């Protein structure tokens, strides 16, 4: 199937990490909800994708050698029209090339913006030699490193495990909503946790996977960034 083909293709090339755009194919193969995304090689391409997706959009650097995109100024959100998209494309690609002269720049991903008020969470796993895949859940975005608010469970996860792991982090109350806010879609988060568990067991070749962020609001959760490494 598609996921297996992407993984064996990556191994055949001798690469350690699956390129983001191809990792998205794996997400689709597992029916994971992803924002609409196109891979633009030129700024004209980027505008065409943006008009198709609808404004506002997000632009992200696409390069097999750049996995932490924000570190090179490679992510711009809230682009409202064609001029903004063109400027962002030029800015992102030229800055990345300047900061990482050795990197091959494919272009930019053009992505649908998450709805306003969406919260950021992380869902991932890391393979332990002895115990197998350890599934991770936590609050995402800029708070991750500061709060270290993360819970773990060994795969396979049952639905009950998925339900419980969400409630183990201190920030659970934030997800439930404070001061009259609506609760996020917990069923959608559970669903992604269960899929992560399946992915970890289906492919022993994957050493580590991280969805960061998953953007969740009151009626859905989408995987906005994915990193999959094989070693």
Place of tokens 């064609």: 82
70 binds, among Mg ion, ligand ADP, none (CB under 5 to 8 A by kind): ligand ADP
Q: Please pick, from the candidates 77, 90, 173, 187, the single residue that binds ligand ADP as defined by CB under 6 A.
A: 77
Q: How far is residue 105's CA from residue 78's CA, in Å, rounded to a whole number? A: 22
Told to check if 225 binds Mg ion by CB under 5 A, we report: yes
CA distance linking residue 25 with residue 32, whole number of Å: 10
What is the contact mask toward ligand ADP in residues 112 to 141, using x (rule: CB under 6 A)?
-xx-----x--------------------x
Residue 153 contacts which entry, Mg ion, ligand ADP, none (Cβ below 5-8 A, type-dependent): none
Chosen residue from 18, 213, 214, 221 binding ligand ADP by CB under 6 A: 213
**Residue list 146-175, contact with Mg ion (CB under 5 A):** none
Q: Does 110 engage in binding with ligand ADP (CB under 6 A)?
A: no
Q: Answer yes or no whether residue 212 interacts with Mg ion by CB under 5 A.
A: yes
Cα(192)–Cα(117) distance, integer angstroms: 20
Give the residue with the Cβ less far from ligand ADP, 126 or 163.
Answer: 126
- Determine the Cα–Cα distance for residues 155 and 145; give it in Å rounded to an integer: 24
Told to check if 224 binds ligand ADP by CB under 6 A, we report: yes
Segment interacting with ligand ADP, rule: CB under 6 A, options 45-53, 68-76, 83-91, 189-197: 68-76
Contact of residue 119 among Mg ion, ligand ADP, none (CB under 5-8 Å per partner type): none
In terms of phi and psi (left: phi > 0; alpha: psi -120 to 50; beta: otherwise), the region of 91 is: alpha
Strands in the chain per DSSP E? 17-18, 37-40, 57-62, 75-79, 107-112, 119-128, 132-139, 150-154, 208-216, 221-223, 226-229
Burial 198-207 (b: 16+ CB within 10 A, else e): ebbeebeebb
State which of residues 22, 43, 93, 111 lies at the interface with ligand ADP (CB under 6 A).
111
Region binding Mg ion by CB under 5 A among candidate stretches 51-59, 165-173, 177-185, 204-212? 204-212
- How many angstroms separate the CA atoms of 48 and 101, rounded? 28
CB of 225 to Mg ion, least distance (A): 4
Nearer to Mg ion, 47 or 123 (CB): 123
Calculate Rg over the CA atoms of the chain: 18
82's enclosing H/E stretch is helix 82-99
Residues that bind ligand ADP (CB under 6 A): 35, 58, 60, 68-70, 75, 77, 111, 113-114, 120, 141, 212-213, 215, 224-225
What residues line the site for Mg ion (CB under 5 A)? 212, 225
């Amino acid at each position: 199937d598609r996921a297996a083909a992407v993984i064996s293709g990556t191994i055949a090339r001798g690469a350690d990490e699956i390129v983001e755009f191809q990792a998205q194919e794996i997400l689709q193969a597992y029916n994971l909800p992803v924002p609409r995304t196109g891979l633009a090689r030129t700024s004209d391409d980027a505008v065409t994708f943006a008009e198709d997706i609808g404004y506002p959009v997000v632009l992200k650097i696409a390069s097999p050698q750049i996995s932490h995109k924000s570190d090179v100024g490679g992510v711009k959100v809230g682009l409202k029209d064609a001029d903004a998209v063109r400027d962002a494309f030029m800015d992102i690609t030229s800055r990345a090339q300047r900061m990482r002269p050795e990197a091959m720049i494919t272009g930019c991903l053009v992505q649908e913006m998450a709805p306003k008020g969406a919260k950021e969470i992380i869902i991932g796993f890391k393979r332990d030699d002895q115990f197998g895949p350890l599934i991770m859940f936590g609050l995402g975005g800029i708070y991750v490193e500061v709060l270290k608010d993360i819970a773990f469970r060994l795969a396979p996860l049952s639905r009950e495990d998925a339900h419980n792991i969400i409630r183990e982090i201190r920030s659970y109350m934030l997800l439930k909503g404070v001061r009259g806010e609506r609760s996020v879609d917990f069923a959608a988060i559970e669903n992604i946790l269960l899929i992560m568990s399946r992915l970890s067991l289906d492919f022993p070749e994957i050493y580590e996977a991280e969805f960061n962020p998953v953007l969740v609001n009151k009626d859905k959760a989408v995987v906005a960034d994915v990193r999959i490494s094989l070693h």
